[in-house]
Chain A
Amino acid sequence: MNTVVKCHSVPKLLEVLKELTDDYQIYCPVKQDDTETFLPLEQIEQDELLTVGEILSKNEPPLYSIKSFLFPNSEVYLKFRRNHDKVDFTVHSQQPEPTIVIGGKPCDVESFDMIDKVFLQEPVDTFYKQKREQTIFITSICTSKGPNCMCEEFGVDKSEPKLSDILLIESEKTEEKSDGIYLKGVSEKGTKLIERLAELDGLQKVDNSPNLIEDKEEIEKLCPEAIKDKMEKLYDSDIWEDLAMRCLGCGICTYYCPTCHCYDINDYSRKGEGVRYRSWDSCMFSDFTNMAGGHNPRPTKADRIKNRFFHKLNYFVKQQGPLACVGCGRCAKNCPVGISLNTVLQKIGGQNNGK
């Protein structure tokens, strides 16, 4: 039996959660200067709390995915100092603090399945793993489909995502009343937190959460194997040249994508002291594979676009099983020239390729 607690509104919930800020870092999505970002709860002004609620109840993921909480866009992991002839280095990774992240969507938490497959496979990326273990994700459930959303086609259960720790379910608002919001424990660490929340003023334990998604349409799921095979036929197609004519090589598609995990490693040092850090990188950049001696295995934009889509729709399937996409629609929404995963899916037969 999953434990469920109820609260009458999002601002109230956030108010109550502030009592936990001694024990947890708590992050929420908030709208500031017209753009969405995640901020620590204590930095969110009273009048901005309403925008948190707005973002949570949208049937669309927030601008940024939550992957950066486990795989930051830039992360220092070594520190070093020159000591006469020697250089002493230490691993810079304090045990990460317990963290609660509110506001990812079902597609977002399910994207961890893909990153886990890469980062938790031997040799384990312990920087990622430690954060993974220390972070509790409260996933806000969508009640219907957003304009760019394709999560269900990609096999994400948008009412009960497998990898979430806690589900945040907002009961349907009618004109007279809003019945409130419900938090339902899913994972062990999520359920423990819910038990604790149940003891706080303003939250009460209830028997069950409302069942929201009534009109469950039958959506034909994409079959990774079938897509993988269809992609094979596209290898020598003109589509890559066509897309390359439009693509700016800006990398936005990869930065917003919750399943992309490429990174770069660099050192920074000054006066005998410095750090080594890793930061997000993008296979869409021209120097990504550029080698000494001037050889570049993917010299053109067409090569790089093709590699990106082949990675998501073919190579990853061969290596790991699923497609490396959760259908969040961020690439569709944010690419300045309107290239997205759908562009390629449509080319290989739209969504009618179930079997």
Chain B
Amino acid sequence: MENNPLVPVNGEVIEIIEESKDVKTFRVKPEKDINHLPGQCAMLSLFGVGEAIFSISSPPKRDYLDFSIKKTGKVTDILHQIEEGQQLGIRGPYGNHFPFEEIKGKDLLFIGGGIGLAPLRSLIKYALDNRDDYGNLQLIYGSRTPEDLIFERDIFKNWPSEENFEVNVAVDVESSNWDGYVGFVPQYLEELAPNPENTVAITCGPPIMIKFVLETLEKLGFNENQVVTTLEYKMKCGVGKCGRCNLDEHYVCKDGPVFYLKELKQIKSDFC
């Protein structure tokens, strides 16, 4: 039979990394190459439980795919119980991708909240793989508490030690084991006030954070062609047919999840 887009291929979980109390990164080796681009997603399935879509948090050209997954429900609860060596179904890659070609030569400002750092990580790592193509890098990242921060070795060790890579980490509320910035990401962004010149801002996080980050970026002088975000919608098919994820006439699974602010401004429906 011809390939049906709903039929997964087998993948094996080769490594599981605990990121925080409710986030784990699953390193998966698919049976067939998935060949994704930064910002794309894939549908993972546990047969008998169901499917859910996740951003691929590793960059292209590795022989594995990373999925950094927060425990929130049916599929993710069971995913969090599995062990290395277990088999998963995987289909994708889905969606468009970050405009990594168009933004060559620019400084990149990454703004992430919570699990929203997962999709950004694929582009951050891609930019580091192709360091000469991009200018300065800056990450502003926040989570609710220090225990909720993910990719600790990246945000505290690997990335700050890279040349021309500024990493700013925040948490929402005071905590005894935190002496960094306390406050919401949009607020931190406003205080840091990065210069918009020759810069592209790429953001992902909870809907409410995205909403305020977009506003703040405009206040700081970023124009609608300098801001890119990835959106999250409930998804089932991932290929523009089940009708679930429409945002006006666009399907987030197919025409997104990555949108320029310019495109979002033409969308009438609420996305945050």
Contacts and interface: CB of A to CB of B under 8 A. Distances in A.
A289 B241 CA distance: 15
Nearest to A316: B249
A93 B4 CA distance: 10
Contacts of B45: 267, 276
Contact of A264 (B2, B8, B89, B236): B236
Interface in A106-158: 118-119, 121, 123-127, 130
Interface string A272-304: 101010100101000011111101011000000
Contacts of A267: 45, 47-51
A269 interface: yes
B interface secondary structure, majority: loop
Given A91-B4, A289-B234, A295-B207, A85 B49 contact: no
B137 to A, nearest CB: 28
A80 B48 contact: yes
Interface stretch (A17-25, A48-56, A164-172, A307-315): A307-315
Contact of B48 (A86, A269, A291): A269
Interface stretch (B58-66, B178-186, B264-272): B264-272
Interface size class of B (residues with CB under 8 A): 35 or more
B4 A77 contact: yes
A133 B232 CA distance: 36
A283 B249 contact: no
Contacts of B7: 77-78, 91
A248 B133 CA distance: 55
A87 interface: yes
B253 to A, nearest CB: 12
A331 to B, nearest CB: 17
A319 B2 CA distance: 26
A264 B51 CA distance: 11
Nearest to B242: A263
Contacts of B49: 267, 269
A274 B49 CA distance: 10
Contacts of B240: 118, 121
- Among B1, B4, B73, the most chain A Cβ lie within 10 Å of the Cβ of B4
Interface of B: 1-8, 45, 47-51, 70, 72-73, 85-87, 89, 206-207, 232-234, 236-237, 239-249, 268-271
Given A91-B1, A267-B50, A293-B72, 11 more contacts: A78-B7, A87-B47, A87-B48, A127-B6, A261-B241, A265-B6, A281-B244, A289-B245, A295-B206, A297-B247, A298-B269
12 contacts: A78-B7, A118-B240, A124-B2, A235-B268, A263-B242, A264-B236, A265-B51, A281-B243, A288-B234, A289-B245, A291-B233, A291-B234
